[in-house]
Structure formats: C-alpha cells, structure tokens
Structure 1
C-alpha cells in the first residue's frame, strides 16, 4: 500500500466531484447493471450495509462492492435506517436489495440485517467505505476452511480529503495497527469493527447478536456528547467468542478504505489522535493483563 496515494482499484468508484443529484442516467444504469449479479435468491454470502441519509456516499460503496470478483452466490442488502434524504430513491433506482428499519440506530439496523440475511456467511460493510475486488472472497475463506473460526475482521485505512496527502493518515493507521496487535489477546472485541467484519450467520443467530444497552449514532465521534462506549460490533464479537474463535484477516486484499469524516467530527486527525492516545493509554494495563 502506498504511503502517499490511494490504490488503483479505488479510482473507478470515486465519482470525483459528484453527489446523488449530479449522477447521470448512464451512471445509474451502469450501477444497476453491475449490481444485478449480487441479488442471489440462495446466497452463500450476505453483504449487509446500514445506511442513514447516505444519498451522496453509498453509491460509491456499492460501486466498489459490485466490482468484487467471486464465483459464490452473493446478496447485497442495504438496511435503510429511516433516512430522511433521498437514500431510498437512490436504492430503488439502482435496484439494490433493501429493507427499512424505522427504529433509529446502527444496532437496530445491523440486527435487522442479521434477521433477514440469507447467506451462510454474513459480511458487514459501511455506507461510506470502499472495498477491494477481493474482499468478499478473502473474508469468508478463513471461516470456510476452519470451523473453529466463527468471525473475521479486516484492517482499514482512511480516505484523505480532496488534494490531501495520505501520509498523516498512514502514520495514524500504523499506531492503530500496533494497538490492534496489543488488544488481540485480551480485548479482541474492540478490534471488531462493523465497517470490515464478518461471521457465520447461524452462529451469530444463536446469540443476542448486535443487541446493546445503549444505541449509538452513525459517526459516534469520540469526545462528543453523544459518544457511546458500548458498540454493537464489539458486542457481536463478545457473543461470537462464546461460540468459537475470531480471526484477523491481514493484507491489502481485505483492507477497506473508509471516509475520514469520523476524524473530522472529532476535530481533525490531530485531535482525534490525541483523544485516542489518551483513551488507550488509560487502558494499556487492561489490554495487556486482561
């Protein structure tokens, strides 16, 4: 992975300078045609994407997913979490399978996704994130090859703003990568993030799934008044570990690239780094000793 540039596979999905209103009929038709392949009636893989007011982002995510290469039967399903913009209109125009979750909150959206998923393997994606063309295939392989592995999670990188260098984000991600390794032994559930994770569907259904006591907002900015420490993805990881093992899937074949808006919501990359450094330093003993 380049320190300064985005990988080449992302470029066709950037739609630089475009939002939903500026998509052409040709753009819509192209997406609709490419997504037809991911509407299997008897899927092996279900890719579930919660979305709340994502009319200007989710078409990029879907474009990247529609470029995935796999011989497996796949369904892509968007859970519209009560959007008030034109997200539903976009979903209908491009023909992607979707369901409505009127109860607001990411945990409710992901839990409905768990209920309606038809695939043996369940992959979680986010509506502001890009996925490499090998993502689906390489995420399910560990679970397919080892029945003890019931959940997987991959690494992620941040998309720089227009005209920005990837360098500061790359350095930020290197520190995050170190933390992932430190936490893996005693606090692995913290590494399990909804933007790049998966599990065996029936195993997850034997647990309480994504149900949590507090419901978080979509950006859940650290340091904000609405930050919630208990997250539905971490809860799912805790539940899965009662049934088997989790596997970190490393390498660029499963590395997702996500929007940096979470960092912006926390005051920018420097402030976000300070917030997280303070938080994780206070928990080092917990990570190491359990």
Structure 2
C-alpha cells in the first residue's frame, strides 16, 4: 500500500483549507468548488455518490472539494443526506449547489437507507462527510463491479489525517497493522471490512436484499468503549445482504485509498488507547476471523 509515510499527498493538502472554517472561505474558493460540483448533477446517472451528514458544516465542504476534483467521464449524481443537522450544514450544501435530502430520523442507518432509496445510479458509492477522496476514486471503485458479474460489492483501503499534532508516521504504522487484520478477515468475516466511508455496490442488489436496515441504530462516531457503542453496523449489514447474491472485493488500486479524519480515534482516547482497545478486540476475535461465525 503506497501511502505517504511522513506527508499527506498533494491532492489531500489542496482540499484541507487548513485553519479555515466554511465562513472563512473566499468568494473565489466558494465559486471554484461550486462550479466543479455542477458536473455531478446528472438526471440519468450511472453512479450515485451518497454522503450522510450530521452537523458537519466545517468538515463537509472539504469532502465536497475533494470529490469536486474527481476525474471521471461517467455520469454521476452526488447527493448529501442531511440527517437532522442543527448547525449550518444545510446552508453549506445550498451555498455549494449540492443536491440534498433531509432525513429527520436521527441515525446514520436512516440516512444511508434514504440515500439508497433515492439513488438513481446503477452503481452506489458510499462516502462520509469527514473523508477525502482521490481524483480517481469513482472509476477505481466502479471498475470491479463493472468487470466481474460475481462482484456485487467493493471496498477500498484508507489512511488517517493527523489531528492534535500527531505524527503522520505513527498513523502509518497503525494502518499497516490494520491492513493485516483486513486480509485476515477476508477469509471468513469479510463483511466487517465493509466500511461506510469507502465502499460501493450495485444499487438494485442492495435494495432487493434488505439495504442498510439494522436492529440497533448507531450514532455517527460510534466510538469503541463509549456507552453508546453499537457492534452491529449498517455497512456490515449491507455487506451481509450483498453476499446473498454475490461476493465482495477489496479494491487494491491506490486510486481508491481515501484519507479520513482521525477524530474517532481521538474520541477513543487517542491513537495509543484506540490501538490498545482494537488490538484486544481483534485478538479476541482472531479465531472468528479464521474459522468464521454465524452471521
């Protein structure tokens, strides 16, 4: 996995708007993002890119900026599902001219399900509002779905953007260890690898097999160790549902590697605490990854 050890890629830096909130953007910056996003309003799209958002006014414009720089010739609709935000998220979306739907029921499951039901594209790509997407992401994710009839779902790899002066190299080590776990889980528990900020599937298969519906709806950060942590996730449930019809595929193309916020790790007490809790979790589940478990 050729991800920068000490530095963030240039394409990430271009979309960071470091030190700026949405209100700090210049008219020129706003106009540039707005103009580029207008390409992704196809009335008859091949690809639907769906992003749930809850109180993300100062994050989502960065995500949208990265997606605005996508290099694809495919017809695409880019849609944000505003999940009952109480901040200025909707104002940001309106200012940038983004298609959006409002989901009043609180919970990422409800937001993703609404996006699925409203999607017009043959292919459905899931993104998150605190993640950066490389220019070739759309095409790299769709390619396996298009090429192999047996593949109904895809998922990509990821790296973290440091916060609070953490060194990028420290995250690089964490990511290398996570990549080992990902490959172990491919043996018997691949659905756990299916993460909502970097995954895709054939829309009709997802709809027909049950979508994102789960028994317990998780909150957006879902930090491990918190009182509100929910083990069952809507993305994992979607993966299980997809596997009723076909198989999942890990996209190893570097063009599908996304950079996501490290705020969930921070919420778990910082990268060291997050590493320890996840190491314990995965150690306890090792036999499950290798031998399988009833889903």
| TM-score interval, smaller chain | over 0.9
State the SS of the aligned residue for 1:137.
Answer: helix
- How far did 1:25 drift? 2.0
Q: From the superposition, tell whether residues 252 and 162 of structure 1 become closer, same or farther in structure 2 (CA, over 3 Å).
A: farther
Q: Is the 8 A contact 2:163 2:263 kept in 1?
A: no
Q: Deviation at 1:136? A: 0.1
Query: How many residues are paired up?
Result: 290
Corresponding residue for residue 209 of structure 2: 207
Contact 2:153/2:248 (8 A) holds in 1: yes
**Cα shift readout 1:143-164 (whole Å, capped 9, x = no counterpart):** 1011110000000000012644
Partner Cα separation in structure 2 for residue 121 and residue 175 of structure 1: 31
- Is the partner of 1:253 in helix, strand or coil? helix
Aligned to 1:76: 78
Partner in structure 1 of residue 12 of structure 2: 10
Instruction: State the partner residue of 1:190.
Output: 192
Q: Following the alignment from structure 1 to structure 2, what is the Cα–Cα distance between the partners of residues 137 and 124?
A: 14
1:262 and 1:250 map into 2 onto residues whose CA distance is: 24
Post-superposition offset of 1:95: 0.3
- 2:167 is aligned to 165
Structure 2: gaps of 5 or more residues: none
Name the structure 2 match of 1:59.
61
- Find the partner of 2:156 among 154, 157, 162: 154
* Alignment-derived partner of residue 111 in structure 1: 113
Q: For residue 273 of structure 1, what is the aligned residue in structure 2? A: 275
Deviation per residue, 1:85-115 (Å, 9 max, x gap): 0000110011011000000000000000000
| Inter-partner Cα distance in structure 1 for 2:102 and 2:264 | 24
- After alignment, is 73-82 or 245-254 more displaced? 245-254
1:42 is matched with which residue: 41, 44, 62? 44
In the alignment, is residue 260 of structure 1 matched against residue 262 of structure 2? yes
User: Which deviations, in whole Å up to 9, do the C-alpha atoms of 1:154-206 show, x marking residues without a partner?
Assistant: 00000012644211100101110000000001100100000000000011111
Quote the Cα distance in structure 1 between the aligned partners of 2:200 and 2:291. Answer: 27
Q: TM-score, with normalisation over the residues of structure 1?
A: 0.99
C-alpha distance in 2 between matches for 1:227 and 1:111: 20
CA distance in 1: counterparts of 2:27 and 2:118, whole angstroms: 31
2:240 aligned residue: 238
Aligned counterpart, 2:129: 127
After superposition, the CA RMSD in angstroms is: 0.8
Contact 2:82 2:90 in 1 (8 A): yes
What 5-or-longer segments of structure 1 have no aligned partner?
none
Match of 1:251 among 247, 250, 253: 253
Judge conservation of contact 1:5–1:165 (CA < 8 Å) in 2: no
